[in-house]
Chains A and B, each alone.
Chain A
Amino acid sequence: MEVVGKSVIRKEAFDKVTGRARYTHDYQTSGMLSAKMVISPYGHAKIVSIDTSKARQVPGVRAIIAGKRYPLTGEAIRDRPPIAVDKVRYHGEPVALVVADTPGQAKTAADLIHVQYEPLPVVNSPTQAFRRDAPLVHERLGEYKKEEDSHPVPGTNIATHIKIRKGNMEKGWSESEVVVEASFSFAPSDHAAMETRCSTAEILPDGQIIIMTSSQAPFMAKRLIADYFGEDMGKIIVHTPFVGGAYGGKASVQLEVLAYIASKEVGGKPVKLLNTREEDILTSPCHIGLDATVKLGADRNGKLKAAEIQYLWDGGAYSDKAIDVTRSGAVDCTGPYKLENVWCDSYCMYTNHPYAAPFRGFSHSELSFAIERTMDILAGKLNMDPLELRHINAIQPGDTTPTRVLLNRSNIGDLRKCIEKLRELFNWNEGPVKEINERYVRVKGISCSWKTSTIDPDAPSGVILTFNRDGSINLMSGVIEIGTGTKTVLAQILAERLKMDVDKIHVRMEVDTQTTPEHWKTVASRGTYMGGRAVLEAAEDVIRQLTEIAACVLRAPIQDLEVGGSRVYLRDDPAIGLHFKDIGYGYQYPNGNAIGGQIIGKGNIVLRHLSHLDPETGAGKPGPEWTPAAYGVEIEFDRRDYTYRLVKACTVVDIGKVMNEKAALGQVMGAMSMGLAFAGRETFYFDELGRVLNPQLRTYRPLRYGENPEFLVGFVETPALDSAYGARGVGEHGLMGMPGALGNALSLAAGVSFHHLPLIPELVWKAKEAARNASI
């Protein structure tokens, strides 16, 4: 192939490296007002009173919104007031909104709003939320409007319950000669994208609602604002320019709603709401936490026979996207292993924590930590090489998933090939432990994962192509450029299909929901998978139009024509042909007669045969294909201090087809870096009032350059037959196995089993102290 697979420099690279790329906050129209939130300092408290009298006297203040009831919001369950009324349910929840002429005035006024609270008992973990006597986060859960496949249990903190019932558990346990059971937990954390979220809104006199937002889901923002507030969908236009990192956190719709409300309160004037870093961490939705219990049974040869799993997801104060995360966690609950007998309960729990957004991997990095640690415990009990245990259980064509999808050579990648490549790349055969000296030891841990993308069954992706008079092509897709380079890959796909120079394809980076065809959401590693299909369809459309007009001009049958090099030409005599510049805008004969017109191509796609899950058994087809991967992490452990250094991190992923090598490497390495930070350091620390104690980058610390290990990446290419050139999703997968592999390495190094994240030295010290005290 000429273009696909090459490391084409991303189209927006020059804008970005020169600092010229513009993000939502960089756009400022004259007369734009500023909004500022007042946020809750408590996890759970009754709002007794709100005094805004002093704030109203601040010059420049246009509106103060507090205590006002708006329609409830939320994607899966309408459980969230945009601005809290009656009570607050999490630290950081918006309690009031000030609109003023300048950001400084808005902040000054916001600081003068006095809110009196009466603390309520706090639900501080999903396990606590699950207890029968737990305080209720939502007393009126039964009254909320909801999607059909959300299953809240009124009178409890259960926002949804997804069941997987596959096979015969009794048979599974009776065939199990070795059984292991373990529990795992970690608190919510943050995405920490470089760009904090920002939205602007303006309501024009004719009723048009113009929104600009740093979002992965501008089309969803349009839909939800229409739904929530009864606005005409066609009058809502959402713009999204470049987005400075998203990682799932910008798939939730939140600030858009607040900006819309703010603008409405000031007669439709343009209003901007920009999160401070603290608000971005606290107020906007976070990375979900989890309490998990996993029980695995195997025969003496290590063949898995049964799995019983409970996931209690920490959805936080409002269910929103956590409902879907909970479902996704059930769908792939076992990890990438063949299992005939599976029983899984995946619960989305309400707690008094910041509510959850999707996070890169969408439940899979989280559940993989629990599954992969348990697999290592099982390997230990079987006295078996942990990589071998995974190899013999690796899921394959002919097997079925927990939701009973029959796998074939296209819809699942080749996990065994990934494992074999990892064995080589990670030098697994030298053994997991290398002694350096009495104090230091190098230890390797491994893990596996898989993922399908549980997007809405009717989620669309569309592409429009238009020609310029010089024969170059404009590509418009609703995929958001969130930093992944996906739009460049779409251009490569088009260039490959039309056999033309990729530099002659111009990609529109900004998306607006009025003129850009919809791409459902830029999530779930679906940009290339779905957008690519739409591009190919649009390419066929323009080929048809180009060859039709060329056939007429060249007086040759369409079947004799080829497209390539920005030309349409005769297959057997390429010298005879027409350049795109002569036909892309129609053709004009020497005498002035013209035929055709500007060529406009279109392509769109919805995924085939996706279905809802059966509420009792979980059976159903949740996603189109599974990407499997195998991972390794090597650490150097200090036996005296219990500290460790990351030496190597390795991912081998079946990507289907490498579309842009450097971009793919960047995606996988970046994801590994995030996964290691999540596993090794990033977490929210809560106090007994449900307050996040570290809502700043001073104390909330992603991985910094220099702390990273050497990254090793391997690709396996088992094509997904229905996708563009066979590509599978790859945006998330480097992350997913890192917590499990690091946990396995550290457990082996320290000689104690770790069940919590983050894996900080103090955790090791505590475990060692506990072990020592137990032995005394």
Chain B
Amino acid sequence: MLPFDFDYYRPQSLSEAVELYQYVAQQGKKPMFFSGGTELITLGRIDLAHADAVIDIKGIAEGRVMEMDGEYLVLGSTLSLTNIEEANPFPLLTKTSSEIADHTARGKITVGGNICGQIFYREAVLPFLLSDSQVVLVGPKGVKTAFIHDVFNQELQLEKGEFLVQLATERRFVEAPSISIKRRQQWDTGYPLITIAALKIDREIRVAISGLCPFPFRSREVEEVLNRQGVTGEARVERALTVLPRPILNDIEGSTEYRLFVLKNLFIDVLRSLDGMTV
């Protein structure tokens, strides 16, 4: 049960959504863009999320897009993870997002909602970080397109009243060899201890990680080390473990040291799969 009442709006256009947000905010109320709704329901009931008005953006056509536009795959932010899994336009995204939550929840969780979520794993962003995708945002200043690395730092840096509409990914990334592995505390249920996604493009390996730090990331330093020529795979992996971002999580899912142990083996799996490393 949600302990608060809220107004509900379902705009049909980008501009209507943006205007509604400003209208509600001007009245001194707290608006929230709403997509799958799973976080509002599950965090709202324990007082970790609140809104006076929710603006459901699922009725906006731009957010439902799933198409090739020239050399770009364009995905709308309100597509559910199940929509994406079933159509499978981006195999790495399918693989990564099919491990998020459970089947029932994935029918509701949207790709944009997962990326913009309060719960910090945000695993759906990993494939987009790896593929240097473009993001389409809309806000009071209108529609803008940005390079994902310019607007995603731990989380999507949205201005007030702004929301994610689409993600565009070049075909060559969509078709690149890739791998995605999720390790949990135990068996197949639960948040990631570590989720790693990797792809190989232009003979270079890229890796993006969730669950190691309290944010998902892609690290140039790590990639540089992993791709270093003339060094054994083992040495590259050992070295990569020394250039990770901080802090490294230490919680009930796993200790810092254990996470590093798991990550080490995941790096080896990535190198084996994408670089032909033999161990």
* Interface residues in chain A, defined as those with a beta carbon under 8 Å from any beta carbon in chain B: 103-104, 107-108, 111, 276, 278, 640-641, 643, 645-646, 680-681, 685, 693-694, 696, 698-699, 701, 703-704, 706-707, 758, 760-762, 765-766
Contact = CB atoms under 8 A, between A and B. Distances in A.
Top 9 nearest A-B pairs by Cβ distance?
A685-B252, A107-B3, A681-B186, A707-B187, A704-B189, A762-B258, A760-B186, A701-B189, A693-B252
B47 interface: yes
A292 to B, nearest CB: 23
A685 B254 CA distance: 11
A278 B48 CA distance: 14
Given A107-B3, A111-B3, A699-B191, 6 more contacts: A276-B45, A645-B187, A681-B186, A694-B252, A699-B252, A706-B188
Contacts of B4: 104
A641 B265 contact: yes
B189 A698 contact: no
Interface residues of B, number: 25
B278 interface: no
B1 interface: yes
15 contacts: A103-B1, A640-B265, A641-B262, A643-B183, A680-B187, A685-B252, A694-B252, A699-B252, A699-B253, A701-B186, A704-B188, A707-B187, A707-B188, A760-B186, A761-B185
Contacts of B187: 645-646, 680-681, 703, 707
Residue with the greatest number of chain A CB neighbours at <10 A, chosen from B42, B252, B265? B252
B252 A701 contact: no
A94 B169 CA distance: 53
Contact of B254 (A111, A645, A693, A762): A762
A761 B47 contact: no
A687 to B, nearest CB: 9
A762 B185 contact: yes
Contact of A758 (B42, B186, B254): B186
A184 B185 CA distance: 22
B157 interface: no
A104 B265 contact: no
Given A276-B45, A694-B252, A707 B258 contact: no
A628 B103 CA distance: 39
Chain A CB count within 10 A is highest, among B4, B255, B258, for B258
Contacts, number: 57
Interface string B3-25: 11100000000000000000000
Contacts of B185: 681, 760-762
A703 B188 CA distance: 9
A115 B162 CA distance: 39
Nearest to B1: A103
Contacts of A696: 46
Contacts of B252: 685, 693-694, 699
A761 to B, nearest CB: 7
B268 to A, nearest CB: 9
Nearest to B265: A641
A104 B1 contact: yes
Given A762-B258, A765-B258, A707 B265 contact: no
Given A640-B265, A762-B254, A680 B186 contact: yes
A625 to B, nearest CB: 36
Contacts of B102: 704
Contact of B189 (A641, A707, A761, A762): A707
A698 B105 CA distance: 12
A318 to B, nearest CB: 25
A641 B254 CA distance: 14
Contacts of B191: 698-699
A699 B265 CA distance: 24
B147 interface: no
A107 B44 CA distance: 12
B1 A111 contact: no
Interface in B233-279: 252-255, 258, 261-262, 265
Contacts of A762: 185, 254-255, 258
A700 to B, nearest CB: 10
A437 to B, nearest CB: 14
Contacts of A699: 190-191, 252-253
Contacts of B258: 762, 765-766
Contact of A111 (B47, B186, B188): B47
Contacts of A701: 186, 189-190
A305 to B, nearest CB: 39
Interface in B16-73: 42, 45-47
Contact of A107 (B1, B189, B253, B262): B1
A115 B188 CA distance: 40
Contacts of A103: 1
Nearest to A708: B187
A104 B2 CA distance: 8
